[in-house]
Amino acid sequence: MTKLSVNINKIATLRNSRGGNIPDVLKAAIDVQEFGAQGVTVHPRPDERHIKYKDVYEIRRIIKTEFNIEGYPSPKFMELVKAVKPHQVTLVPDPPEAITSSSGWDTINNLSFLQDIIGELKEYGIRTSIFIDTNPDFIINAAKTDTDRIELYTEPYATGFEKDPEKAIAPFVEAANIANKSGLRINAGHDLNLQNLKFFNEKIPFLKEVSIGHALISDALYLGLERTISMYKELLIKDK
């Protein structure tokens, strides 16, 4: 079964819109764990418009499931993850003003930078993943950074899924095979949902983990968080 990590940023966005502590982000993290998700993901940004840096410290203390922190490796971000020591850090190339992630790393032009960052994280015993597009050259170069995993940026798949699922999935299948041959494990995320997740999971070989936030939290408004997590997990069971 592919593991499900739930990104709880949107819960923090709702909390921050009114101030105070409703909804309670820490309770949400505990609930995600109790309802069966195999991981909790957060993506703190410099302006703290959703997950705040203090949230990250508090979540780390209260959950037992896998903790994945996404973000651009600025000095402040690196200070945070070295102190918190999550199970996994997913490096994304977002500029500070980005609304959401919109592309993966160019691992050719950023090779030495990523090598240095990943080297620092490995000194702290943190598993690393690089957010990346399906460009074969970028994936081959990702292996040169010494990262443990890549996270395939799946927005292009989600956009093309309704029109032509087979065409949409093809570059991701190729990317997964290249990654596996390069010694990389494979995660995926961005715009995966109840409609397109099962097909993606069935078609992508060697898929270890998906990180889903916006769609899952939106579905939970109608279906409830526990039921929604259960539904997503059902889609991640590989058919024999």
Most distant CA atoms of the chain, gap in Å: 49
Q: 43, 50, 151, 209: which one is catalytic?
A: 43
Inter-helix orientation angle 53-62/25-34, to 10°: 40
Backbone dihedral region for residue 140 (phi beyond 0: left; psi -120 to 50: alpha; all else: beta): alpha
Rounded Cα gap, residues 22 and 8, in angstroms: 14
Residue with tokens 């939970």: 220
Rounded Cα gap, residues 40 and 62, in angstroms: 11
Catalytic: 43?
yes
Q: 50, 66, 190, 209: which one is catalytic?
A: 190
Q: What is the DSSP letter of 238?
A: P
- Asked if residue 172 lies in contact with residue 154, where contact means CB atoms within 8 angstroms, the answer is yes
Q: 66, 70, 151, 209: which one is catalytic?
A: 70
Backbone dihedral region for residue 235 (phi beyond 0: left; psi -120 to 50: alpha; all else: beta): alpha
> 200, 139, 127, 211: which is closest to 170 by C-alpha?
200
Catalytic: 70?
yes
Give, for 67, the enclosing helix (H) or strand (E): strand 66-71
- Asked if residue 198 lies in contact with residue 235, where contact means CB atoms within 8 angstroms, the answer is yes
Peptide bond into 86 cis (omega under 30): no
Q: Which residues are catalytic?
A: 43, 70, 190
